């Protein structure tokens, strides 16, 4: 039993539950509940009766008497701010509780003579070579230990590090494998045995994808929320059960151009709205419907709902002044040009299509694996790049007019600068969430 589970205070238990709902780690829950109990013991009164001055006095106690390090002090601050933001509502502003400033320290740097003596202490030539490579290239031990003879280019005096520690950037092609694995495991845990799972793709028109480059957060919100509202409305009306969805944002096509769309994994069943129990999605009893494959909803109705919700939200964003215009989009500042664009996209047939459940050869887990593949690491995998030098990059891409592109891939050659420009189009801000769950799969619903 972890420490926080042994605590008997109702408020402490509720704090632990609030953190669990937000999927915080057990170690974090233990640390926060510990600091909150220390605060409660210090002030000697109920936590919901504490004042901002009590918190200030406790902070001074941590610094002057307990002499906590910067990291432990800030951990206590985080615990109190979480407590009075999510678990207990207080009248005083929680943001007044300050964090401690991180102390600045200079790294220990050895002189050239010291480095030379350090390396020469090793008599074994192999060990000495390893240490020289480790120090001169600035490698971590695990990175240097993983080097092979093929990773060393003596002619260009370069070393290729294949499996270095993660830099933490989700766009880095060599990092974040652990994040992808964690997402894949969580997503696979949502799958329901004996229920068909559909992949539904919602795509924004070219004009809105261009607008997204200057309004990434806003257009991502348009895409996610409109896709979910369209799914919820159509499934509720046609099937009569409570829907759920897991969505993943992609912003590129095979040629790395701006092409904003979401892939949604949707179960073909859910709790029935009337009569209780579980209800499976069924095809409509119409003579015109002769397809014997599993059916989710009418694709045309879904497409029209998606277009309606997306355009309505775009109009609200413009009215609230939350859209930015620049470069070729500068003309959209004009009401006349904006209305022309809206009329044009209203008359278009938007792309949203429903892929049937995986066949006997594949399983829903394979769809999860596909959605996981591009969560981190950028918009193109290494195996699609055929050649690259200082002038040009050649890679494989599908092309054609069919939805999703033709299956056959053809070589595409771009100037290296253009390839880098297109790749950089898909670097999203840290605050933009690329995966979201809705309905029965939302964090709130799962926690309850």
Does 107 fall in a domain? no
Same domain, 87 and 117: no
296 shares its domain with 362: yes
Per-residue pLDDT tens digits for 370-410: 888 777 777 888 888 999 888 999 999 987 655 544 568 89
How far apart CA 119 and CA 208 sit, in angstroms, is 59
pLDDT-based confidence at 283, cuts 50/70/90?
confident
Average confidence score pLDDT of the chain = 85
Q: Is the pLDDT of residue 338 over 90?
A: yes
Tens-place pLDDT, residues 101-129: 877 776 677 788 888 888 888 888 888 88
Instruction: Based on the fold, state whether residues 197 and 330 are members of the same structural domain.
Output: yes
Task: Give percent above pLDDT 70 in the chain.
Answer: 89
348 and 240, same structural domain?
A: yes
Q: Residue 269 domain-assigned?
A: yes
Is 29 a domain residue? yes
Q: Is 405 left (phi over 0), alpha (psi -120 to 50) or beta?
A: left
The mean pLDDT of 273-296, rounded to a whole number, is 78
Please report which confidence band the pLDDT of residue 319 belongs to, taking 50, 70 and 90 as the band edges: very high
Mind spelling out the 3-state secondary structure of the chain? CCHHHHCCCHHHHHHHHHHHHCCCCHHHHHHHHHHHHHHHHHHCCCHHHCCHHHHHHHHHHHHHCCCCCHHHHHHHHHHHHHHHHHHCCCCCCHHHCCCCCCCCCCCCCCCHHHHHHHHHCCCCHHHHHHHHHHHHHCCCHHHHHCCCHHHEECCCCEECCCCCCCCCCCCCCCCCHHHHHHHHHHHHHHCCCCCCEEEEEEECCHHHHHHHCCCHHHHHHHHHHHHHHHHHHHHHHHCCECCEEEEEEEEECCCCCEEEEEEEEEECEEEECCCCCEEECCCCCCCCCCCCCCCCCCHHHHHHHHHHHHHHHHHHHHHCCCCCCCHHHHHHHCHHHHHHHHHHHHHCCCEEEEECCCCCCCCHHHHHHHHHHCCCCCCCCHHHEEEECCCEEEEEEECCCCCCCCCCEEEEEEEHHHHHHHHHCCCCCCCCCCEEEEECCCHHHHHC
Residues 146 and 222 in one domain: no
Tell me which residue of 350, 409, 417 sits closest to 384, measured CA to CA: 409
**In b/e form, how buried is each residue of 180-199, taking b as 16+ CB within 10 angstroms?**
beebbeebeebbeeebbbbb
Same domain, 232 and 148: no
pLDDT given at position 316: 95
Query: What pLDDT score was predicted for residue 218?
Result: 95
Domain that holds residue 33: 3-96
Mean pLDDT across 334-350: 94
Same domain, 116 and 89: no
> Is 101 contained in some domain?
no
pLDDT for the residue 146? 79
Q: What is the pLDDT of residue 171?
A: 57
Q: Confidence class of residue 206 from pLDDT cuts 50, 70 and 90?
A: very high
Instruction: Give the pLDDT band (50/70/90) at residue 168.
Output: low
**Average pLDDT for residues 344-372, to the nearest whole number?**
81
Task: Assess whether 155 and 267 both reside in one domain.
Answer: no
pLDDT at 433 over 70: yes
Asked whether residue 301 falls in the same domain as residue 345, the answer is: yes
């Amino acid at each position: 039993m972890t420490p926080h589970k042994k605590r008997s205070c109702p408020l402490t238990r509720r704090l632990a539950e609030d953190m669990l709902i937000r999927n915080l780690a057990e170690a974090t829950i233990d640390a926060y509940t510990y600091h909150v109990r220390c605060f409660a013991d210090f002030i000697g009164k109920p936590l919901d009766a504490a004042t901002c001055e009590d918190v200030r006095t406790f902070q001074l106690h941590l610094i002057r008497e307990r002499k906590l390090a910067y990291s432990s002090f800030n951990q206590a601050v985080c615990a109190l701010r979480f407590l009075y933001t999510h678990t207990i509502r207080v009248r005083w502003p929680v943001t007044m509780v300050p964090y401690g400033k991180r102390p600045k320290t200079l790294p220990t740097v050895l002189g050239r003579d010291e480095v030379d003596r350090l390396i020469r202490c090793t008599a074994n030539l192999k060990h000495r070579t390893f240490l020289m490579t480790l120090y001169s290239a600035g490698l971590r031990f695990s990175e240097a230990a993983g080097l092979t003879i093929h990773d060393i280019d003596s002619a260009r005096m370069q070393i290729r590090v294949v499996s270095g520690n993660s830099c933490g950037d989700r766009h880095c092609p060599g990092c974040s494998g652990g994040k992808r694995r964690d997402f894949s495991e969580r997503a696979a845990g949502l799958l329901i045995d004996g229920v068909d799972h559909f992949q539904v793709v919602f795509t924004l028109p070219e004009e809105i994808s261009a607008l997204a480059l200057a309004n990434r957060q806003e257009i991502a919100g348009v895409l996610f929320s409109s896709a979910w509202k369209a799914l919820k409305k159509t499934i509720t009306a046609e099937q009569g059960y409570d829907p759920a969805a897991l969505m993943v944002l992609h912003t590129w096509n095979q040629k790395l151009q701006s092409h904003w769309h979401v892939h949604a994994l949707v179960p073909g069943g859910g709790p029935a709205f009337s009569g209780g129990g579980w209800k499976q999605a069924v095809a409509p009893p119409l003579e015109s419907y002769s397809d014997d494959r599993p059916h989710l909803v009418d694709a045309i109705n879904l497409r029209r709902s998606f277009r309606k919700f997306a355009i309505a939200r775009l109009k609200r964003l413009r009215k609230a002044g939350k859209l930015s215009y620049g470069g070729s989009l500068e003309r959209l500042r004009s009401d006349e040009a904006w209305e022309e664009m809206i009329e044009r996209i209203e008359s278009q047939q938007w792309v949203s299509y429903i892929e049937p459940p995986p066949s006997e050869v594949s399983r829903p887990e394979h769809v999860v694996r596909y959605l996981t593949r591009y969560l981190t690491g950028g918009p193109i995998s290494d195996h699609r790049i055929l050649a690259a030098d200082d002038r040009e990059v050649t890679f494989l891409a599908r092309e054609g007019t069919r939805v999703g592109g033709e299956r056959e891939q053809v070589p595409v050659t771009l100037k290296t600068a253009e390839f880098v420009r297109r790749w950089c189009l898909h670097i999203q801000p840290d605050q933009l969430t690329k995966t979201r769950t809705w309905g029965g799969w939302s964090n709130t619903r799962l926690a309850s």
